[in-house]
Structure 1
Amino acid sequence: MRIGALSRATGVDIETIRFYEKTGLLPGPARSENGYRDYAQAHLERLAFIRHGRALDMSLADIGLLLASLNSRDPAQLASVDGLVDAQLARVRARLISMRALEQQLVALKSRCDGQHAQHGAQGCGILGELVAAAHGEACACHGDVGAASPAPRQTVGLKS
């Protein structure tokens, strides 16, 4: 099959397929007489494997290690697969903690302008006021005291005082 058909079958962009070939994740295909790439079923399966690894947010380097382990019977190499997944799981869990903290910060910021506490009158928008305060090194609803050693001057370019 040609690269366009492979792209449609896997949902992977043509340029990404070419990139995977250049980096060695995807072996180069045979060429037809007219020079077109001629991909086989093995390319489709390998590309689907890579895509699935990326959907799990694994790095291309980690996916390369997994691909190298596919046909291995070596217990040490297979154990490294477990370690790789454990490390990825730890990264995902750390990001979840970070995302929950981010959610709390956004909720705190949003509380400055929700329906009950709308501050869009003479004082302006509470959310924008909080963001400007943070830009000046002041405490804000979402981060509390930022502890800036020297707050930025109020005449910061792009911010009104």
Structure 2
Amino acid sequence: MANLTIGKLSEATGVKVETIRYYERAGLIAPPGRTSGNYRAYGTADLARLRFIRRTRDLGFTLEEVRAMLNLAAQHDQSCGTIDAIAAEHLREVDRKIADLQGLRRELSTIIASCAGGSIDDCRILEAFGEHE
């Protein structure tokens, strides 16, 4: 599956054409070769790399984390400890976000439960947000 156009690469990976161009400008994907008609021509390695980028981005990794993992992936004889550390730190960040969201949910649930209905002047939700002081 060599010589994919940017449109075909987009279809195969689910990554928008403009995002592919952005990844090229950001150095995550090497500038592709060109066809005789000056169209971008991507190969199977580009397809695999873009699928990796897409999956890691879907999992919430930052571009810098993705870049670091891609750079490490090119060093075949190195320990994968650094990649493990990047993934572990990302998991800790996900856990922090989950804890923050659970706290937010509890707070909102309490505020909503405190509302007994009635008029806007008696609205406990607006009062909790500081609108009725």
TM-score by length of 1: 0.73
Aligned equivalents of 2:31, 2:87: Cα separation in 1: 28
The CA distance in 2 between the partners of 1:87 and 1:122, in whole Å, is 45
For CA contacts below 8 A with separation 6 or more, give which structure has more relative contact order: 2
**122, 127, 132: which one aligns with 1:129:** 127
Alignment length (residue pairs)? 129
Q: CA deviation at 1:44?
A: 1.2
Question: Which residue does the alignment assign to 1:69?
Answer: 72
Distance 1:14 1:88 in 2: 27
Aligned to 2:19, which of 16, 19, 36? 16
SS of residue matched to 1:27: coil
- CA-based RMSD of the aligned residues comes to 1.7
Structure showing greater radius of gyration is 1
| Cα distance in 1 between the residues matched to 2:127 and 2:35 | 64
Aligned ranges 1:1-161 → 2 under 5 Å: 1-71=4-74, 72-75=76-79, 78-113=80-115, 117-118=116-117, 120-121=118-119, 123-133=121-131
Shift of 1:124: 4.5
For structure 1, which runs of at least 5 residues remain unmatched after alignment?
Answer: 134-159
Q: Structure 1: which 4+ aligned runs deviate by more than 6 Å?
A: none
Percent identity, aligned pairs only, is 32
Alpha-carbon deviation of 1:112? 3.0
Structure 1 or 2: more helix by fraction: 2
